[in-house]
Amino acid sequence: MKHILLITQYFYPETFRVNDMACEWVKRGYKVTVLTGIPNYPMGKFFDGYDRKHRTRETWNGVNIIRIPLIARGNSRNKLMNAAGMAANYLSFVRSGRKWVKSKEAANLHADIVFTVEVSPMTQALIGIWYGKRYHVPTYLYVQDLWPENVETVTGIHNRAIIGPIDRMVDKIYRETDTIFTTSPSFVEAIVNRKHPVPRSKVHYWPQYAEEFYRPMEPQKIEGIEDDGCYKIAFTGNIGTAQGLDVLPKAAELLKNDNVKFIIVGDGRYQPEFERQIRLHDVQDKFVMIPRVPAERVPKILSACDAGFISFNKTPLWENTIPAKLQSYMACGKAIIASASGETKRVIHESQCGICTEIGNPGALAAGVRKMMSNDSVAMGKNARIYFEAHYDKKKLMDDIDLYIRR
């Protein structure tokens, strides 16, 4: 039985797809130990029942979890305070990780491989490299956010005195990692063609799948969503600045006389400003706000909607990204309308599962919504599911990763 040390700053009860990956590896006969932090994403404070002294070691669905100390992200309306909170959060996890790698617990773990799942920050990959070097085991890295591009895009910082050291850290991580996986073909090209190139032979495209509970369902009654004949478009997940959701209230204002509503499921740092924009444009009647729900409930909510919505801010980084919610919507057999380009636009066009409009353009989005309403959303949803089964099937993708782990 191979023992996988899975390093991820975010893990259950935080809602990330890595949770399902860990459970699937257990089902496949692997021993899995997760090194993670104290749950605090996305709202920036520790979850109830968790802190530096409580529930630092636990077992969940056969997965052994080790939680090391970190500083919670915090949540402030001040951008500078937010940036400082995130930096402290990232660095504290790495500092604790370095200390843990040298501990007796780490020495007695006897992992066969280290697999780091990198949703920002990239800094967490250093822990995997330190463990791999110290205990002579192969290291794998799954890149879901490109650095330093992500840092520049999210923070707006382009000062080379700051970005330069981050870039050199990324070069070190890529150089010293044995095998790299990425979530989009564009990410492969970006990594291979860095200023200090990474050998193409060790960089592989491995798309995200959607958990098995994401599947087409008969329409269900959902509390808060009226069966009023409106065309309903759902957005699920983190409500952050990167999602570019400011386009929605503006588009909703243009759709005031159209029989459409937007169902927003989730929370995040941008939520207060998003709700302020809804009031500013006087479109409260066009929105239904549902607090964050367990991922298992999302398919039921989607069953009561006609389409799913995806949007981004306009940056090269997001254009190269395939967001996880794309697979979720497709798995549920939902038509998709997007304010996006790049990889998301490619997938939507290839699958013929929806409509893509210009990023940040409320007029184009409003026109796209009207076009969706007049088209056959059910047929688009079927196309989405067919494409999902061909490209994002969980069993096939986990079988693929098994080949790397077992060799």
Q: What is the pLDDT of residue 77?
A: 66
The total number of structural domains that make up the chain: 2
Residues 37, 118: one domain?
Answer: yes
Whether 239 maps to a domain, the answer reads: yes
Q: What is the pLDDT of residue 329?
A: 97
Least confident of 27-31, 77-81, 216-220: 77-81
Q: Which domain holds residue 189?
A: 3-209+392-406
Whether 93 maps to a domain, the answer reads: yes
Whether 222 maps to a domain, the answer reads: no
Residues 242, 94: one domain?
Answer: no
Whether 380 maps to a domain, the answer reads: yes
Q: What is the pTM of this model?
A: 0.87
- pLDDT 10s digits, 264-296: 999 888 899 999 999 999 999 999 999 999 999
Confidence of residue 176 (pLDDT cuts 50, 70, 90): very high
Looking at per-residue confidence, does 205 or 320 come out higher?
205
Residues 242, 156: one domain?
Answer: no
Residues 238, 302: one domain?
Answer: yes
Residues 268, 315: one domain?
Answer: yes
For the cut 80, the answer to whether the pLDDT of residue 53 exceeds it is yes
Residues 397, 384: one domain?
Answer: no
Whether 224 maps to a domain, the answer reads: no
Q: What is the pLDDT of residue 269?
A: 81
Residues 258, 298: one domain?
Answer: yes
Residues 309, 329: one domain?
Answer: yes
Residues 181, 269: one domain?
Answer: no
Whether 216 maps to a domain, the answer reads: no
Whether 280 maps to a domain, the answer reads: yes
Residues 400, 372: one domain?
Answer: no
Percent of the chain with pLDDT over 90: 81
Whether 221 maps to a domain, the answer reads: no
For the cut 90, the answer to whether the pLDDT of residue 78 exceeds it is no
Residues 385, 303: one domain?
Answer: yes
CATH number assigned to the domain comprising residue 251: 3.40.50.2000
3-state secondary structure the chain: CCEEEEECCCCCCCCCCHHHHHHHHHHCCCEEEEEECCCCCCCCCCCCCCCCCCCCEEEECCEEEEECCCCCCCCCCCHHHHHHHHHHHHHHHHHHHHHHHCCHHHHCCCCCEEEEEECCCHHHHHHHHHHHHHHCCCEEEEECCCCCHHHHHHHCCCCHHHHHHHHHHHHHHHHHCCEEEECCHHHHHHHHCCCCCCCHHHEEECCCCCCCCCCCCCCCCECCECCCCCEEEEEECCCCHHHCCCHHHHHHHHCCCCCEEEEEECCCCCHHHHHHHHHHCCCHHHEEEECCCCHHHHHHHHHCCCEEEEECCCCHHHHCCCCHHHHHHHHCCCEEEEECCHHHHHHHHHHCCEEEECCCCHHHHHHHHHHHHHCCHHHHHHHHHHHHHHHCCHHHHHHHHHHHHHC
Residues 330, 249: one domain?
Answer: yes
Least confident of 79-93, 161-175, 273-287, 297-311: 79-93
Write down the mean pLDDT value for the chain. 94
